[in-house]
Amino acid sequence: MPFLGQDWRSPGWRWVKTEDGWKRCEPFSPALEDGNNQLNDISHTVIITGDDENEEVYSTEDCEFAAKKRKKDHFRNNTDSQCFYREKWIYVHKESTRERHGYCTLGEAFNRLDFSSAIQDIRRFNYVVKLLQLIAKSQLTSLSGAAQKNYFNILDKIVRKVMEDQYNPRLIKDLLQDLSSTLCILIRGVGKSVLVGNINIWICRLETILLWQQQLKNLQMNKQVNNGLTLSDLPLHMLNNILYRFSDGWDIITLGQVTPTLYMLSEDRQLWKKLCQYHFAEKQFCRHLIPSEKGHIDWKLMYFALQKYYPIKEQYGDTLHFCRHCSILFWKDTGHPCTASDPNTCLMPVSPQHFIDLFKF
């Protein structure tokens, strides 16, 4: 029997639709075989509904169709029997060739690069959150229906991680605020077909976002009991060195609220001057000089003033990489099948904004 599909070169893998998109399924799995045997029995039954006067007997074909529908639902929910693809990279092509038809979309890349596992890595967590925030601001309508489901599934995992580990809730609050604002605008324009899916689904998603925001607002930090050395026991020069390692002004302010000593160190003019010089060029902060009452420059206020006009430098523990030789986007730890003689010379780190720009045609 010929293979019926969009690609006649397919090796015949079975693909099932899940919340994270289409996943490749094991051809032989005991769990699936048991499910198939149970569901096949349904197709041989006759369903009778209605009153005695208006009986409607469905034919065997209708029963088979209902059984197939139940099989699809069974496959969607049976995650234990699924074999996910191992490749965590994607070929970025912007034109059609004999080997590759069509274009690589943002939704395809979002589904293939395994962001669900990336958020469990503390080095990649901020990177993925920033990427989701950029998509929420301008590219949400560019995602396919499967990619949008995957987007909200990953977002749900991020919120759960923050609620359990209490890691960087401020970053997630900013993401949810941008996403809720975007959805409010898009839902009003649903008549223009700007969203994929039913309007009621998007209203439910918006309500879920508002619920997440309320949960994060009520989040209470657990006080850790530690009888050993604490942050307050460190010498002043070490505490000062820690503050100089931060690249975000809000992190400095948050740390300064822990103890009076840290507050005193966080108000140092030289600290905020170094932060301004790191993020902004001299021409930029010369245009927005803010003198203090004593006639000195208030570098702390100037940092937040400049932040409104110019983008700050972004730092991430790990990022996606793009191979200029192979045109493949991948996580550096997972690697990719590179054909270059010296692959390290072809690698280029990809910022979240660069990731978005790769798929703008």
- Would residue 150 count as lying in a domain? yes
> Could you tell me if 203 and 102 lie in one domain?
yes
Domain carrying residue 296: 248-309
The pLDDT confidence band at residue 155, using thresholds 50, 70 and 90, is very high
> Could you tell me if 189 and 280 lie in one domain?
no
Bridge partners (DSSP) listed for residue 211? none
- 226 Cβ partners below 8 Å, 6+ apart? none
> What pLDDT sits at residue 214?
92
> What pLDDT sits at residue 52?
43
Bridge partners (DSSP) listed for residue 14? 25
Query: At which of 267, 293, 309 does a domain end?
Result: 309
- Would residue 242 count as lying in a domain? no
> Could you tell me if 179 and 252 lie in one domain?
no
What is the rounded distance in angstroms from the CA atom of residue 132 to the CA atom of residue 176?
Answer: 10
- Would residue 255 count as lying in a domain? yes
Burial 134-161 (b: 16+ CB within 10 A, else e): bbbeebbebbbebbbbbbbbbbeebbeb
Dmax (CA) for the chain in angstroms is: 94
> Could you tell me if 162 and 267 lie in one domain?
no
Q: Among 151-160, 223-232, 264-273, whose mean pLDDT is lowest?
A: 223-232
Closest CA to 275 of 313, 329, 236: 313
Digit-coded pLDDT (tens) for 9-38: 455 566 777 877 777 765 444 444 454 454
Are the CB atoms for 43 and 63 separated by under 8 Å?
yes
- Would residue 171 count as lying in a domain? yes
Q: How far is CA 156 from CA 28, 89, 160, in A?
A: 32, 23, 6
- Would residue 142 count as lying in a domain? yes
> What pLDDT sits at residue 212?
93
Closest CA to 322 of 87, 91, 85: 91
> Could you tell me if 176 and 258 lie in one domain?
no
The crossing angle, in degrees rounded to 10, of helices 30-40 and 60-77 is 150
Counted domains in the chain: 2
Q: Among 75-89, 138-152, 213-227, 331-345, whose mean pLDDT is lowest?
A: 75-89
> Could you tell me if 289 and 206 lie in one domain?
no
Digit-coded pLDDT (tens) for 261-303: 999 999 998 999 899 888 888 787 777 776 666 667 888 888 8
- Would residue 185 count as lying in a domain? yes
Residue-level length of the chain: 361
Q: How far is CA 133 from CA 138, 199, 339, 343, in A?
A: 9, 22, 34, 31
> Could you tell me if 288 and 187 lie in one domain?
no
> What pLDDT sits at residue 184?
86
